[in-house]
Amino acid sequence: MGRELYDAFPEAREVFSLADSLRPGTSGQCFNGPDSLLAETVNTQPCLFAVESAAAAVLTAQGVRADMAAGFSLGEVAAIAFCGALDLSDAFRLVCLRGRLMQEDAEALPSSMAAVLKLDEATVTSLCQEHGVYPVNFNCPSQISVSGSTDAMTAFSAAVKAAGGRAVPLKVRGGFHSPFMERASRSFEAELRQVAFRPFRIPLYANLTAEPYGDSPKDTLSAQICHPVLWEKTVRRMIAAGADTFIELGPGKTLCGLIQKTDSSVRTFCAASAADIESICREVLSC
């Protein structure tokens, strides 16, 4: 992932060079994997950050400007840098720490995640309460991701099926955005106390509140690790604030799909390749 951007744009090469200078081997992991290595949280987070930030740098150089921003989970740290509140190097260091802390919690408290499909929020929440599982990512209508212990998830998945839904296991190493990550959240908060944030140049909508970041970015960013991602609500509030075009930065089209399921009237683009960048510039800059 990210190799096409690296080959085609000097701005992307600058981002990957910075990442490699702070964490040697990052670009190699992005470009070559293998999947088993990238699946480790300590690697997943800095690699995704590098690809997302490279795409952002390329679009910025092409003249594409955002009026507001949001980032899903670790993407929120990349979005903080994009919005000018942190230098890219400081944000990258924080992402590396975040990935390590969350992997440590995942190894200390074995847990997993699943995406629940075809059930409404009330039903999923009720089933979670019955089985000691946590609803953590409110992605879009009829799709909520949950976190739980290995034993609890087995019984929970069976209950979801009995209720007419489907629980799809996620390829992650722990129960993120839940109380399983409380120690990581506290340790991350302590590190954030040493970091100086600047004012945001554009509004950044927070996973924690589905509202633009306020005067306590450190509290918001640390609490995000062990609290739900309010993505559907975030998208709706951004649309209400005037957003009619969303550009997903980084590999894949997952967020574009969630946004379309939330409100199909808006335009969505992904920015993972040179062809994607060309299409975005043609469609967005011509408006």
pLDDT of amino acid 287: 54
Catalytic residue chosen out of the listed positions 177, 185, 187, 227: 177
Per-residue confidence (pLDDT) for residue 215, from 0 to 100? 84
Residues of each domain in the chain carrying CATH 3.30.70.250: 111-169
* pLDDT at 74 (0 to 100): 95
- Superfamily in which the 111-169 domain is placed by CATH: Malonyl-CoA ACP transacylase, ACP-binding (3.30.70.250)
pTM of the full predicted structure? 0.94
pLDDT at 150: 86
CB burial string 163-195: b at 16+ within 10 A, e below: eebebeeeebbbbbbbbbbebbbebbeeebeeb
Starting at the earlier edge strand, list the strands of the sheet with 166-169.
134-140, 143-149, 111-117, 166-169
Q: In this predicted model, what pLDDT tens digit does every residue of 249-278 receive, in sequence order?
A: 999 899 999 999 999 999 999 999 999 999
User: Of the listed 73, 112, 157, 185, which one is catalytic?
Assistant: 73
177 noted as active-site residue: yes
131 is catalytic: no
Can you tell me the distance from the alpha carbon of 163 to that of 144, in angstroms, rounded to the nearest whole number? 15
Q: Is 224 exposed, middle or buried (0-12, 13-18, 19+ CB in 10 A)?
A: buried
**Positions of the chain with pLDDT lower than 70, given as ranges:** 287
Residues of the chain with CATH 3.40.366.10: 3-107+178-245
| Residue that the structure tokens 């995640």 belong to | 113
* Upstream peptide bond of 141 is cis (omega within 30 degrees of 0): no
Q: Domain 3-107+178-245: give its CATH code.
A: 3.40.366.10
